[in-house]
Amino acid sequence: MTNNIEQQIRTACAAAVKELYNADMEAASIAVERTNKDQIGDYTVVVFPLLRVSKKKPEETANDLGAYLQANVPQVSGFSVIKGFLNLSLTDSFWIETLGSALHNHEYGKGTPTGQKITVEYCGPNTNKPLHLGHIRNMLLGYSVASILEFAGNEVSKVNIYNDRGIAICKSMLAWQQFGNGETPESSGIKGDHLVGKYYVVFDKKYKEQVEQLKAEGLTEDEAKKKAPIQLEVQAMLLKWEAGDAETIALWKQMNDWVYAGFQVTFDKMGVDFDRDYFESETYLLGRDLVLEGLASGVFFKKEDGSIWVDLTDKGLDQKVLLRSDGTSVYLTQDLGTADLRYDHYHMDRNVYVVADEQNYHFKVLQLTLEKLGKPYAAGIYHLSYGLVELPHGRMKSREGNVVDADDLIREMVAAAKAQTLELGKLENPESEEAEELFRTIGMGALKYFMLRVDPKKKMLFNPEESIDLQGQTGPFVQYSYARIQSIKTKVGDIKIELPANYTLSALEKEVLIELYQYPAIIQESARNFDPSVVASYTYNLAKTFNKFYVDHSIANAETPEAKHLRLGLADLTAKVLAGAFKLLGIDVPERM
C-alpha cells in the first residue's frame, strides 16, 4: 500500500488531458476523492475544472477521461459518469494485493524518514500546585503529537519545562514555613504536589484575611494589598532566593522535590514521559545574557529607568520589556534562554510548543525576538496553540477555585469504567489484577479519546458531572472493536493467512479495505497539521466500518476458505491499525473486554 493510487489517477488524468485535448495540467490540481457511498465506484474525478481545456460538456469530458483511464491504468476496472463526476471502480485484485503488502509490513503506515529533528515541549507546569484538567489536555496533545510526528518519519524529542521559580512557589514555601508544623508527604500521606498546593491555598487565605483586617483598620483596598504582612514577607523571600540564601534555597529544593515526585506519579498514570527536563531556574540567567548581548549589538534598547526592551512595532506588535529596571527577568527572558539552550542540545529543525492559546501573543513575540537576535532556529518555532478546557459553569481558572484536579479525574474515570464493566457482567474475575488493569485501560481510553478527538485549536467543553460516555464515538468503542477481532483470532487459532488470487469482494469488504488504505495518508496529514484529532477520527471511522462488516459477514465460519482467509486478513490488519493508531494517541487496547 505504499504507492498511492490517488496519485496515480491524478498523473494519468494529466496525461489524458495532454493526449485528448493537447493541454497542460498539473497532476496535483486534479481533484480525486473517494466516491460517495451511495454511488458505484471507489474514487471520483471531478471533471468540471477540465471543461476549460476540453471545451466539451461535462458528461462528454468525463466519458473521454474514463475511457482513457480504463485503457491506460491497469487498476481501473470500469467507470460511470454522473453529471460532472467520473466514478472509477478499481479491480478487486488491486485491493487484495494492497491488503497483502500491508499485512507483510510490520510498520504499516510509518512514514519514510524525513531527516527532520523536532522537539516537542509540553506540560510546562508550575511547581506550586498539582496538575489539573488543562494540563491533561496539554499532556495528551503533546505526547500524541510527538508520537505521530515520529511515526510520520521525524526524529522527535519530548521535553518539559518547569516553572520552578518566582513568587508563586515562594508563597507555598512561606505558608509551609509558618503554618506547616513540619508536615511532609511521608508524615501526612499527602501526595507531594498536593501538599505544596495545599500551602499555596493557605497563603492565599491568610493573605485575604490580612487584607480584610487592614481594610477594617481604614486602609484602601490597594494599600491593604501592598501592606499585608505576609505579602511583604513573600517578596522578601523571593529576594533571598534570588540572592542565593542557603536556607531559602534548601527549602525551595525540598518543596520542589516533593512536587516532582508527585508529578511523576501523575505522568505515569497518564502514560506520558519526557526525554529531557528544563528548569526556568536554570535558564533565566541564560536569557538575561542573551538580552544583554542584544542590547550591546543594538537590537534592543534601554529606557531611562534601566529596563531593556525590544521594539516590535515594525511587525505590528508593541514594545515588550525583556529585563526589568531592577535587572530581573520576566517570563519572556526565560523563554529566550530555554530556546537557546534547547538548540544547543538538539539543533532541531522544528521546535514545537504545546501551550494554550491565551499565549498566542507571547509566542509571536518570542519568535520575532529570536529572529531579531539572528537566531537560526527562530523560523522553526511552532506554537501548537490549543483552546482552553471549559467547564459547564464557564472557564476553568485556578484562582476561582473551579478546578478539576488531574488525579481526581483519573480516579473517577477508572471508577466509572469499572462500574460500567461490572454492570455488563462479562468479567470472569472482577477482583483480579487483570480486571483492574482493564478498568484503567478503558477509563483512560475514554478520557484520552474524549480530549483528543476534538481539533486542538478549538476550545472544548468538559462536563464532569455527566462523566464521559463509554458508548458511541468513544475510546472504548474502538477498544471493543479491537477486542472482538482478538477474540476471533484466538478462536480460529494460529493459521497462516493466504489471500486468494481470484476473489470477488463484497461491498462491505471493500469499504474496510479502502478505509485501511487511507492510514498512511492519515498519519501524514495528522503530522503536517500537528493534529491528533485526525488520527482519532480515523480510528472511529475504521472501527465503525469494520463493525458493519463484522455483523454482516461471518469470518471464522466464512462460506468458502477463500473468504475466510481474506476476511481474517482484513480483521488482522484492522486490529493492527487500530492498536497502532491508538498507541500514537497514547491509548492502550485490551485483548478482551
Partner RNA sequence: GGUCGCGUAGCUCAGCUGGAUAGAGCAUCUGCCUUCUAAGCAGACGGUCAUGGGUUCGAAUCCCGUCGCGAUCACCA
Segment 57-116, which members bind RNA (CB under 7 A)? Answer: 82-85, 87
Binding-site member from 472, 494, 501, 502 for RNA (CB under 7 A): 472
Q: How, if at all, do strands 117-121 and 155-162 pair?
A: parallel
The HSE-up count of residue 117 (CA atoms within 13 Å, CB side) is 10
* Residue 404 binds RNA (CB under 7 A): no
* Binding span for RNA by CB under 7 A among 2-10, 149-157, 399-407, 482-490: 482-490
* Binding span for RNA by CB under 7 A among 101-109, 171-179, 404-412, 549-557: 549-557
What is the C-alpha to C-alpha distance for residues 486 and 571, in angstroms, rounded to an integer? 9
**Nearest alpha carbon to residue 278 among 215, 210, 219, 353:** 353
Burial 429-458 (b: 16+ CB within 10 A, else e): eeeeeebeebbbbbbbbbbbbbbbbbebee
Binding-site member from 73, 174, 417, 522 for RNA (CB under 7 A): 417
Using the minimum distance from each CB to RNA, give the nearer residue, 17 or 348.
17
* Residue 160 binds RNA (CB under 7 A): no
* Binding span for RNA by CB under 7 A among 68-76, 163-171, 209-217, 225-233: 163-171
Using the minimum distance from each CB to RNA, give the nearer residue, 57 or 347.
57
Task: Tell me the closest approach of the beta carbon of residue 218 to RNA, in angstroms.
Answer: 26
Using the minimum distance from each CB to RNA, give the nearer residue, 45 or 348.
45
Sign of CA dihedral 206, 207, 210, 212: negative
* Residue 484 binds RNA (CB under 7 A): yes
DSSP letter at 166? S
What is the C-alpha to C-alpha distance for residues 505 and 238, in angstroms, rounded to an integer? 72
Binding-site member from 22, 181, 502, 557 for RNA (CB under 7 A): 557
Contact indicator for 31, 45 with CB cutoff of 8 Å? yes
Which residues from 22-41 bind RNA, rule CB under 7 A? 31, 35-36, 38-39, 41
Q: Is 115 left (phi over 0), alpha (psi -120 to 50) or beta?
A: left
Contact indicator for 385, 457 with CB cutoff of 8 Å? yes
Burial group, residue 358, by CB count within 10 angstroms (0-12, 13-18, 19+): exposed
Binding-site member from 331, 382, 434, 500 for RNA (CB under 7 A): 331
* Residue 126 binds RNA (CB under 7 A): yes
Binding-site member from 110, 324, 345, 583 for RNA (CB under 7 A): 324
Using the minimum distance from each CB to RNA, give the nearer residue, 157 or 564.
564
What is the C-alpha to C-alpha distance for residues 460 and 386, in angstroms, rounded to an integer? 9
Q: What's the distance, CA 107 to chain centroid?
A: 21
* Binding span for RNA by CB under 7 A among 218-226, 303-311, 343-351, 376-384: 303-311
* Residue 556 binds RNA (CB under 7 A): yes
* Residue 469 binds RNA (CB under 7 A): yes
C-alpha cell at 68: 482513457
Using the minimum distance from each CB to RNA, give the nearer residue, 59 or 155.
59
Contact indicator for 9, 43 with CB cutoff of 8 Å? yes
Binding-site member from 46, 219, 341, 404 for RNA (CB under 7 A): 46
Using the minimum distance from each CB to RNA, give the nearer residue, 199 or 480.
480
* Binding span for RNA by CB under 7 A among 3-11, 181-189, 195-203, 319-327: 319-327
Task: Tell me the closest approach of the beta carbon of residue 591 to RNA, in angstroms.
Answer: 7
Binding-site member from 214, 270, 470, 579 for RNA (CB under 7 A): 470
Which residues from 347-366 bind RNA, rule CB under 7 A? 357-362
Name 118's bridge partners. 156, 350
What is the C-alpha to C-alpha distance for residues 173 and 256, in angstroms, rounded to an integer? 10
Task: Tell me the closest approach of the beta carbon of residue 221 to RNA, in angstroms.
Answer: 16
Binding-site member from 119, 138, 248, 420 for RNA (CB under 7 A): 420
Which residues from 186-225 bind RNA, rule CB under 7 A? none
* Residue 426 binds RNA (CB under 7 A): yes
* Residue 495 binds RNA (CB under 7 A): no
Contact indicator for 42, 86 with CB cutoff of 8 Å? no
Contact indicator for 574, 516 with CB cutoff of 8 Å? yes
Which residues from 428-467 bind RNA, rule CB under 7 A? 438, 442, 453-455, 457-461
Q: How, if at all, do strands 32-34 and 43-46 pair?
A: antiparallel
* Residue 253 binds RNA (CB under 7 A): no
DSSP letter at 110? P
* Cβ neighbours, 10 Å, residue 207: 18
* Residue 179 binds RNA (CB under 7 A): no
Using the minimum distance from each CB to RNA, give the nearer residue, 117 or 544.
544
What phi, psi does 381 have (nearest 5°)?
-75, 130
